[in-house]
């Protein structure tokens, strides 16, 4: 078994969540949250910020750590056990541009209920729900948009 670690973000701007649509040779298709592999010597927070920027073009800052999801998948040679560390992130605009090299063909910001139903993977829906509840708590406390939580 091969172990892999990725980091990603639930990026929110004005209450809407940033999603990507991936289409790989018509085999893998679906809406996902932005995430990617940790590079050597890179901190998890830096990976999340870099991957969000690379995959979506969105400049986002980290608000707080949300948690970890775990899953396995098979590649021809082996089974991969993946840990994904997720962050609640805030974008500075609705701008997004899907990274074509990674087979992302669309991106956009969606209301919570839309994003929840669009997401392909159950573990990403769980993370979305957790992140969105954190966002609502911060908003209710008038902390969303301030820098008080850094």
Please state the rounded mean pLDDT for residues 56-64. 97
> Are 82 and 72 within 8 A, CB to CB?
yes
Is the pLDDT at 87 greater than 70, yes or no?
A: yes
Ordered domains of the chain (ranges, CATH):
1-139 (3.90.79.10)
The residue that leads in pLDDT, 29 or 127, is 127
Long-range pairs for 23-32: beta carbons < 8 A, 24 or more residues apart: 23/103, 23/105, 24/103, 28/103, 30/119, 30/120, 30/121, 31/115, 31/118, 31/119, 31/120, 32/119, 32/120, 32/121, 32/124
CA distance 127 to 138: 17
Please state the rounded mean pLDDT for residues 30-49. 97
pTM of the model: 0.93
């Amino acid at each position: 078994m091969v172990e892999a670690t990725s980091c990603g973000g639930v990026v929110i701007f004005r209450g809407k969540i940033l999603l990507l649509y991936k289409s790989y040779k018509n085999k893998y298709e679906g809406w996902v949250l932005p995430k990617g592999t940790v590079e050597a010597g890179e901190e998890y927070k830096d990976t999340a910020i870099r991957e969000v920027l690379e995959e979506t073009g969105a400049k986002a800052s980290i608000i707080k750590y949300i948690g970890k999801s775990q899953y396995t998948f098979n590649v021809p040679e082996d089974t991969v056990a993946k840990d994904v560390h997720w962050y609640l992130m805030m974008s500075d605009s609705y701008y997004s541009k899907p990274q074509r090299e990674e087979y992302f063909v669309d991106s956009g910001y969606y209301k919570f209920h839309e994003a929840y139903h669009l997401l392909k993977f159950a573990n990403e829906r769980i993370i979305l729900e957790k992140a969105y509840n954190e966002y609502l708590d911060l908003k209710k406390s008038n902390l969303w948009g301030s820098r008080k939580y850094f």
